Amino acid sequence: MNRIKLGVNIDHVATVRNARGDNYPSPLRAAIFAQKSGADSITIHLREDRRHINDLDLKKIKSKLKIPLNLEIAATKEMLEIALKNKPNFICIVPEKREEITTEGGLNLKYRKDFLKKIISKFKKNKSKVSLFIEPSISDIKVSKSLNADTVELHTGKFCNLVNRKKNYKSELKKIKKAVIFGNTLGLNVHAGHGLTFQSAKILSKIKGIKEFNIGHFLIGESIFLGMRNTIKEFRRIIK
Ligand code: PXP
């Protein structure tokens, strides 16, 4: 059986850098470090307000990375041009609201279907594979197929919230399972992401047919605890 791929989202390395307006920690260094540490791909989300990753990060990471780069973008003209110019291996189209803290839900596929179809075709001609970030819903999967997407990424945020708050997640899990089966039946690659932790990823990893998880916030946060000991040791050595 094929193992599930792990896409590592490094946006929040840039969040920490930007909090001080300094040039570290470097998202490029994080991308290369993740590559060396076993990530199958690197994800970055270039937001309209550039609150984490910026255009220069994208350029540097694209030129140095050996594993595939997955660029998340909103379906806007500006992002279309940037994505066409940079030719990432994968493009994941996500909804984006300026005030949101993170991507709150899947795409509203009833809205601007023609524009989406047009840009998906442009990206594919430009040799980028295209994924749509959607709710785990049968109708959204059907629409994604009709728009010619290669992949759907199922938004796991609701499920993960229920797991984290120790609430009943059974019906949300069922929705995800059904969506995975249906997506695979239509010949779509099915990815999953948003809010995943060790616990929620473990539950979802039991579902057959998910090809890849994309994980960011928890993974970067947990790295503080898995890495702090070594950093403190290094300071101890330097200042002794
Ligand atoms: N997948 C997509 C499409 C996303 O927009 C995000 C958040 O940027 C993630 C995965 C990762 O979510 P998290 O940072 O909560 O792990």
Judge whether 216 and 13 are in contact, CB under 8 Å: no
Q: What is the pLDDT of residue 105?
A: 78
Give dist(CA 133, CA 140) in Å, integer.
10
Q: What is the pLDDT of residue 146?
A: 97
* Pocket of ligand 1 contains residue 194 by CB under 6 Å: yes
Rg of the chain over all Cα atoms, to the nearest angstrom = 18
Q: How many angstroms does the Cα of residue 144 sit away from the middle of ligand 1?
A: 19
Of 12, 72, 96, 135, the active-site residue reads: 72
Q: What is the pLDDT of residue 98?
A: 65
Vertex 48: Cα angle to 19 and 64 (nearest 5): 70
| pTM reported for the whole predicted model | 0.95
Q: What is the DSSP string of 21-67?
A: TSS-S-HHHHHHHHHHTT-SEEEEE--TT-SSS-HHHHHHHHHH-SS
What is the chain's pLDDT, residue by residue, as a tens digit (240 residues)? 579 999 999 999 999 999 999 999 999 999 999 999 999 999 999 999 999 999 999 999 999 999 999 999 999 999 999 999 999 999 999 987 766 777 777 888 888 899 999 999 999 999 999 999 999 999 999 999 999 999 999 999 999 999 999 999 999 999 999 999 999 999 999 999 999 999 999 999 999 999 999 999 999 999 999 999 999 999 999 999
Residue 126 belongs to domain spanning:
5-239
Q: What is the pLDDT of residue 64?
A: 98
Give dist(CA 25, CA 19) in Å, integer.
11
> Number of structural domains, the chain?
1
Burial class for 33, CB neighbours closer than 10 Å (0-12, 13-18, 19+): middle
Give the H/E segment covering residue 213.
strand 212-215
Q: What is the pLDDT of residue 1?
A: 57
Beta strands in 111-168 (DSSP E): 129-134, 151-155
Q: What is the pLDDT of residue 2?
A: 79
Q: What is the pLDDT of residue 112?
A: 83
The first and second tokens of residue 162, run together, are: 């229920």
Query: Where residue 134 sits, what CATH number does that domain have?
Result: 3.20.20.70
Q: How many angstroms does the Cα of residue 238 sit away from the middle of ligand 1?
A: 37
Q: Which of 5, 189, 190, 214 to mutate to test the pocket of ligand 1 (most atoms within 8 A of CB)?
A: 214
